[in-house]
C-alpha cells in the first residue's frame, strides 16, 4: 500500500507540473512567428542598405563660417540648396536672398530697391584667389547697413556659373525668373 500511495502522489504531482506549463503553440502559429522574424530581419537589412546608399552621396552643398577678422566665408560646392545657404548666411546675422537660375535667366528687377552699383561698398566682398582650390568669397558684414539685404544670385550653365552680388535696401521679394542678363547692363 505504501508503494501505491507513493505512486499516486507522484502521479498527482506530475499532472500538476504538466498542467502548469503552457500548451505548445500550434504549428501555424510557429510559422507565423517565423515569418514575422524573417520579415523584420529583411526590413532591417533594407533600411540599413538604404541609409548607407543615401549616406554615400551626402557631401555638403556649401560651407559658411566666421573668420577671425569677423568676415563670413562662403564656399559653394554644389549649386543645389539656395534656401539652405540663405538660412546659413542669415544665421551669421546677415539678411540674405540667394537664388540659383538657369543660364539666360535673371530675377525680375522689381523684386527689391537695389543699391546702385556705383554706390556699392567695394570692400563688402573679397573673392578667393583664382589659384585657390576652394572658390570661396568673404562677406564683410560691417558694410551691410541696418535694414539692408545681401543678395547672391547665380546663373548656371553646364560647367559654368556666373554670380552677382548686390545689396538691397529693405527686404527682397522672391525671385520671379525672366529671360535676361544676370545684372542688367552687364554681360
- CA–CA separation, 122 and 152 (whole Å): 15
Asked if pLDDT for residue 42 goes beyond 60, the answer is: no
Of 7-16, 40-49, 68-77, 102-111, highest mean pLDDT: 68-77
Predicted confidence (pLDDT) per residue in 126-145, tens digit:
998 877 788 799 999 999 99
Cell of 56: 554615400
| Cα 74–chain centre separation | 17
Percentage of the chain beyond pLDDT 90 is: 51
Banded model confidence at residue 53, pLDDT cuts 50, 70, 90: very low
Query: Contact at 8 Å (CB) between 149 and 75?
Result: no
- CA–CA separation, 175 and 105 (whole Å): 11
Cell of 156: 548656371
Output the pLDDT for position 165.
94
- CA–CA separation, 182 and 128 (whole Å): 21
Amino acid at each position: 500500500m505504501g508503494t501505491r500511495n507513493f505512486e499516486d502522489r507522484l502521479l498527482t504531482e506530475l499532472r500538476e507540473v504538466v498542467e502548469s506549463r503552457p500548451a505548445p503553440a500550434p504549428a501555424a502559429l510557429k510559422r507565423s512567428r517565423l515569418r514575422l522574424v524573417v520579415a523584420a530581419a529583411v526590413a532591417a537589412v533594407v533600411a540599413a542598405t538604404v541609409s548607407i546608399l543615401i549616406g554615400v552621396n551626402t557631401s555638403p552643398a556649401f560651407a559658411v563660417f566666421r573668420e577671425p577678422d569677423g568676415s563670413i566665408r562662403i564656399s559653394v560646392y554644389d549649386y543645389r540648396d539656395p534656401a539652405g545657404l540663405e538660412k546659413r548666411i542669415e544665421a551669421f546675422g546677415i539678411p540674405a536672398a540667394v537664388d540659383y537660375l538657369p543660364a539666360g535667366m535673371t530675377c525680375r528687377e522689381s523684386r527689391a530697391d537695389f543699391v546702385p552699383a556705383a554706390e556699392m561698398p567695394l570692400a563688402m566682398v573679397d573673392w578667393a584667389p583664382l589659384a585657390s582650390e576652394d572658390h570661396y568669397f568673404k562677406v564683410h558684414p560691417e558694410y551691410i547697413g541696418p535694414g539692408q539685404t545681401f543678395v547672391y544670385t547665380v546663373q548656371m550653365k553646364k560647367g559654368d556659373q556666373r554670380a552677382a552680388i548686390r545689396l538691397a535696401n529693405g527686404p527682397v521679394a522672391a525671385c520671379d525668373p525672366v529671360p535676361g542678363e544676370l545684372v542688367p547692363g552687364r554681360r
